[in-house]
């Protein structure tokens, strides 16, 4: 096996994620371990100066960033770096400038491992309350659905990779960059609309609505385990992802 950390992740993914086979959890944990060893330098990325990764929103801006209903006046574009894609898995990097947001979206029937390479970001993630769709193809179901908040916290580059699964682990999630940050993702299998694996975006609302005074529970006060209603929506007009040039090692 190559000494290149990115190559090691690729080789582990190639052995683990195969068409028509459910990978054992031990194999997924091995991919997660190898992913955790990858650095920004391994992927040819320039890490922002320390003062940039510390500056971020500041105290009051950071609170606003957590708000599920707050909207930035301008959401800076996100850069996508393509590392590898096959029928069974995708390797990619998303680079987010400060205040950039990847809206709430799902990963139908997919396993996703995410390693934050530098910076910090806020992660908010849900799972569907109904577990009758084990294939994870929930995007085929239209209309409001009940979901349970499973993660609502700040993730930093020193944390271990996150893992989500078709029906557990926070399959529907949103990212907000508190500082410049970059995420190395393993998506298995890849998004494939023709096979029912399209990316669907969602809006959040509280199930506790008082029609008489038109008030509702503040979503921002929710804690993991709380329920919310998610409904399909179009991504915001200012959500822009641009493809950049990947300068890291090729894998094969």
| Cα separation, 231 vs 147, whole angstroms | 10
Mean pLDDT estimate for the chain: 86
Indicate if the pLDDT at residue 99 is higher than 80: yes
Residue 126: per-residue pLDDT: 98
225 vs 186 pLDDT, higher one: 186
Q: Could you write out the DSSP letters of every residue in 110-137? A: -EEEEEEEESEEEEEEEEES----TT--
| Cα separation, 12 vs 185, whole angstroms | 14
Mean pLDDT, to the nearest integer, of 201-226?
Answer: 69
Phi and psi at 155, nearest 5°, equal -115, 140
Predicted structure pTM score? 0.85
pLDDT in tens, 153-175: 999 998 999 999 999 999 999 99
Domains of the chain plus CATH, in order, are 5-243 (2.60.120.10)
Indicate if the pLDDT at residue 218 is higher than 50: yes
Mean pLDDT, to the nearest integer, of 25-43?
Answer: 98
Indicate if the pLDDT at residue 130 is higher than 50: yes
Q: Which residues contact 148 (CB under 8 A, 6 or more apart)?
A: 126, 127, 128, 129, 225, 226, 227, 228
């Amino acid at each position: 096996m190559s000494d290149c950390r990115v190559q090691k992740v690729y080789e582990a993914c190639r052995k683990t994620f195969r068409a028509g086979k459910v990978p054992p959890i031990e194999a997924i944990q091995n991919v997660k371990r190898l992913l955790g060893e990858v650095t920004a330098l391994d992927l040819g990325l320039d890490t922002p100066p320390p003062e940039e990764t510390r500056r971020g929103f500041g105290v009051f801006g950071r609170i606003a960033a957590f708000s599920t209903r707050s909207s930035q006046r301008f959401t800076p574009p996100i850069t996508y770096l393509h590392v590898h894609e096959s029928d069974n898995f995708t390797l990619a990097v998303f680079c987010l400038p400060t205040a950039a947001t990847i809206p709430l979206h799902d990963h139908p029937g997919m396993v996703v491992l995410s390693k934050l390479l530098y910076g910090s970001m806020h992660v908010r993630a849900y799972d569907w309350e109904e577990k009758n769709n084990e294939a994870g193809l929930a995007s085929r179901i239209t209309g409001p659905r009940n979901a349970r908040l499973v993660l609502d916290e700040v993730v930093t580059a020193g944390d271990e990779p996150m893992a989500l699964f078709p029906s557990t682990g926070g399959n529907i999630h949103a990212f907000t960059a508190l500082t410049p940050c970059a995420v190395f993702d393993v998506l298995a299998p890849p998004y494939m609309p023709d096979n029912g694996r399209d990316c669907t975006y969602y809006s959040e609302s509280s199930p506790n609505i008082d029609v008489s005074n038109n008030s509702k529970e503040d979503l921002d006060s929710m804690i993991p385990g709380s329920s919310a209603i998610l409904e399909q929506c179009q991504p915001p007009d200012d959500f822009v992802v641009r493809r950049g040039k990947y300068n890291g090692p090729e894998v094969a």
